Amino acid sequence: MLSDLDRTLDIARADSALLDESCRLTDRLADSLVVDGFPRHFVPERWGGCAGTFTALLDAVSVLAETCASTAWCAALYAAHGRLASYLPEAGQRELWGSNPDACVAASVVPPQGNAERTGEGWKLTGKWTMASGVDQADWVLLAAWAPTADDAVAGGAPASGGPAPASGGPVPAREHRIFAVRRSDVKVVDTWHPVGLRGTGSNTVGADVFVPDHLTFTLRDLSQVKPHAARCHTVPFPLVASLIFAAPVLGAAEGALRTWWIQQTERIRPDGSTAAEQPAQQQVLARTAAHIQAARLLMERAAQRADHAPVTPVLVAENQRDVAVAVELCGSAADELFQAAGQRALDESDPLQRAWRDITVARTHGTLNFAAAAASYAGASLNARALATDGAR
């Protein structure tokens, strides 16, 4: 799976203008992602999934993003959300995948945006959730809300687990970050996605007022629990791989932007009959941006290989976050330079270089790709590891 992407690439090229205009994937493009195997990539093998690797996903998503970053974004998230859904109880997994391991799962899980209250053997889930990429063609949606814990209350004036603060002092119901799986047919999708880039992701708002049984929910804490006998992709901690999922489309879009830009320079004829590609200034842009993008790929490939094989430590998690954040900065700076050196042609909204630049610019705003946060995480993990090593030597 994820190796033969030619059909999807052809559809993405043909539908690129429609994606930008409609601000959503076309149905035939979403269907092609299913045929390629993205939704089942991280689904457990016992349900007919692949329990695949992060390296394979990085390779496939970056190839798609060379042509269409919006398509690649949805492909990456359909895969990643299947991995998240594997933390559901066994009965919940059976409901999702028992008859269809290719079920497409959209999500809006960070931060919690809705509210959940205990009722009977389940939960009453209400609210609105923004930025649910690929939700129009999804079969299921993962939605996060603050929900009461098993304890009735905790003392003090602040809620447990970082939940919303109370209006007054006194005992406060303990609340935690809980994730719920809801059928797409049971929620309302509101057309709110009209951005400058990644337009085709259809990252619309979801509204829900539904009952969710216990077997279709899990907590954020569950993501850190060790799962005995699970495949490697289901045992690595969420922070180790979260940024890699969102960065993969950025890498491919930058590689596509470089290819498009260089082709355009070979086609730009100067008054003296030479091409723009023959000019030293453009050759310097080529060399510098190519080096930045290739360095970004090396960093991200190493991050994926760590996720697939390396023993997990706090420092390893922080190194992945650091490397991916730096890789995205390298891709972003390269895209900026290519756009500035492109000439008038790239000013047209339909130009593929402009579209790639817009997509990269929007993707870089995602919280998991923030360099300052990654730097702080890396510094903290490194200092802690040094302190532990010092303590052990005493």
pLDDT tens for 37-64 read: 999 999 999 999 999 999 999 999 999 9
In this prediction, residue 167 carries a pLDDT of: 47
- What mean pLDDT do residues 170-198 have? 91
In this prediction, residue 151 carries a pLDDT of: 63
CATH class as words, domain 236-393: mainly alpha
CATH class as words, domain 105-222: mainly beta
In this prediction, residue 253 carries a pLDDT of: 99
In this prediction, residue 229 carries a pLDDT of: 80
- What mean pLDDT do residues 300-318 have? 97
Confidence band for 216, pLDDT divided at 50, 70 and 90 = very high
Q: Which residues on adjacent β-strands are paired with residue 123?
A: 118, 212
Share of the chain above pLDDT 70, in %: 92
Q: Backbone phi, then psi, for 9, in 5-degree steps? A: -65, -40
pLDDT higher than 50, residue 325? yes
pLDDT higher than 60, residue 393? no
- What mean pLDDT do residues 349-376 have? 97
Q: How confident is the model over 68-109, as pLDDT tens digits? A: 999 999 999 999 999 999 999 999 999 999 999 999 999 999
Q: What's the chain's average pLDDT?
A: 93
pLDDT higher than 50, residue 353? yes
pLDDT higher than 90, residue 1? no
Domain residue ranges of the chain, discontinuous segments joined by +: 6-102, 105-222, 236-393
Beta pairing, strands 114-119 & 122-132: antiparallel
Confidence band for 394, pLDDT divided at 50, 70 and 90 = very low
In this prediction, residue 173 carries a pLDDT of: 62
- What mean pLDDT do residues 173-187 have? 94
Of 280, 233, 180, the closest CA to residue 45 belongs to 233
Confidence band for 224, pLDDT divided at 50, 70 and 90 = confident
Whole-prediction pTM value? 0.93
- What mean pLDDT do residues 138-151 have? 93
In this prediction, residue 391 carries a pLDDT of: 57
In this prediction, residue 153 carries a pLDDT of: 31
Q: What is the C-alpha R_g of the chain? A: 22
- What mean pLDDT do residues 133-140 have? 99
Q: Which residues on adjacent β-strands are paired with residue 129?
A: 206
| Fold of the domain built from segment(s) 6-102 | Butyryl-Coa Dehydrogenase, subunit A; domain 1 (1.10.540)
pLDDT higher than 90, residue 385? no
